[in-house]
Copies of this chain bind each other. A is one copy, B any other.
Amino acid sequence: MSHADILAASGLSKSDTTGGTLAVRTPVDGSEIARLKVHGAAEADAMIARAHGAFLAWRKVPAPRRGEFVRLLGEELRRQKQALGALVTLECGKILQEGLGEVQEMIDICDFAVGLSRQLYGLTIASERPGHAMRETWHPMGVCGVITAFNFPVAPWCWNAALALVCGDPVIWKPSEKTPLTALAVQKICEKVRAGFGDDAPEGLTQVLIGDRELGEALTANPKVAIVSATGSVPMGRAVAADMSKRLGRTILELGGNNAMIVAPSADLEMALRAIVFSAVGTAGQRCTSLRRLIVQEDVYDALMPRLIKAYEGLPIGDPLAGGTLVGPLIDSQAMVAMDAALETAKSQGGSVHGGGRALADSHPAAAYVRPAIVEMPSQSSIMHRETFAPILYVVKYRALDDAIAMQNAVPQGLSSCIFSTDVRETEHFLSAAGSDCGIANVNIGPSGAEIGGAFGGEKETGGGRESGSDAWKGYMRRQTNTINYSRELPLAQGIRFDI
């Protein structure tokens, strides 16, 4: 399939993809595949106004009916899974299996949200006063701005949007300026669903803002945007948080990760090996949950490392749309430069590098293919405290498990983590209050590839937000505590007397 065919299959017309100023290049070969019109701040405000109008109507639509909208969205995504998955690959460079996986994640969260639409459970609560009923209910919150990053161009939007829509909140999406096409394609799907839904799905229920950082600021600045959910870098997240703190608005932040795996002596090394490669190299190391640090017990270090280096050497690098490829390109040449710089720094800190360096330069001169790198480090030095969005895997040794956990927790990020061990004392300790400080902590699987049923996110510089499963939906609603006095008395709480 040609790139043009992929665009067409996604429902994007010529007029959608031409005539603008924002050049979209595919990392597959670096070629320009579209040139989009961008929105300005005034258009952003108009969209927000439209979304707020939609909110006033949508909040009154019963939640199960809102769920029906999301169910239909999931059905349409099922229908368009192949096309949209290919577009994801074309636009962000992840291999097709992962592009399809991302669409599947959208579908899964839609199914989950449909179930939520008959729950959105608040509580009835025992009151201390006779003739009083107490309860807590959850109500729609308002317009939800969603800022997404290039590496997961569509799934995080859907984590947010499926929940937000069921919760009664219209969504305005500002995708990465590197991956706006997938956003447009998804918006077309939404509009198709809306067209078939009925009058109670208002105009402006889902919208897309195309452009750069200033549009993000348009969202954070406008008090009609009740929630800003942002996925991306720590500096971006800090900026969003600072802006929102001015108006005491709500944020859901999913920022950087610096994810480690501890390999214990009792680990199944064959499984660990496969998990390492997938989680360090998948999406060319550009997942927020990519494995970046490998902390290996010294007794198994020599058994593991040669096999790992060998596995890396055999990795098929190439066109992510082609079957068999496991490593696609980086998003752009800046990413390649950053990777090189990190490897240089690592070397200067004593690191011994395996792999790394540009690949396919001849066949794909305008693209940023690289060879994934393993760096054996003498200790966890400063470079390992940073997140470099590239397939670099730092490896250090440990002796005692608590040292490994301390290393794992020593970085400023707090997203994902895992241990490979078959010893239940080790695994439960790793999951305990004294174990990993990450929002995600796994046993005998890698740090990436979460199921949608759990809450996704982490503390520290990861930003503290939670998306997707569990009760992440509460982030899209406002909580209201009610006390209803149905008696003819007026007793005060805490037994206070106040008689006028």
Contact = CB atoms under 8 A, between A and B. Distances in A.
Interface of A: 59-65, 67, 71, 97-98, 100-102, 104-105, 108, 111-141, 168, 226, 234, 237-238, 241-242, 244-246, 248, 250, 253, 255, 268, 271, 274-275, 277-278, 282, 311, 314-315, 326, 421-425, 427-429, 431-434, 436-445, 449-456, 459-464, 466, 469-470, 478-488, 490, 492-498, 500
20 contacts: A62-B130, A98-B498, A114-B114, A115-B116, A115-B119, A118-B128, A124-B124, A132-B445, A134-B451, A134-B453, A226-B459, A248-B463, A424-B427, A428-B484, A431-B480, A440-B481, A440-B482, A443-B483, A443-B486, A470-B479
B480 A441 contact: yes
A128 B451 contact: yes
Contacts of A277: 500
Given A135-B135, A449-B492, A451-B493, A248 B115 contact: no
Contacts of A437: 478
A82 B266 CA distance: 47
A138 to B, nearest CB: 8
Given A97-B497, A421-B424, A425-B422, A455 B481 contact: yes
A113 B115 CA distance: 7
Given A101-B495, A451-B128, A479-B439, A434 B115 contact: no
Query: Chain B CB within 10 Å — which of A115, A117, A168, A423 has the most?
Result: A115
Q: Nearest 3 A-B pairs (CB), nearest first?
A: A115-B115, A428-B486, A63-B126
Nearest to A240: B245
Contact of A274 (B61, B119, B275, B500): B500
A402 to B, nearest CB: 12
B428 A483 contact: no
Contact of A496 (B97, B124, B496): B97
A197 to B, nearest CB: 15
B485 A445 contact: yes
Nearest to A130: B62
A133 B424 CA distance: 11
Contacts of A464: 248, 250
Contacts of A98: 496, 498
A333 to B, nearest CB: 26
A268 B485 CA distance: 12
A278 B127 contact: no
Which of A131, A250, A454, A487 has the most C-beta atoms of chain B within 10 angstroms of its own C-beta?
Answer: A454
A424 B429 CA distance: 12
A498 B280 CA distance: 12
A95 to B, nearest CB: 8
Nearest to A105: B494
B453 A101 contact: no
A71 B278 CA distance: 31
Contacts of A138: 124
Nearest to A249: B464
A117 B134 CA distance: 13
Contacts of A453: 64, 118-119, 125-128, 134
Contact of A481 (B59, B62, B450): B450
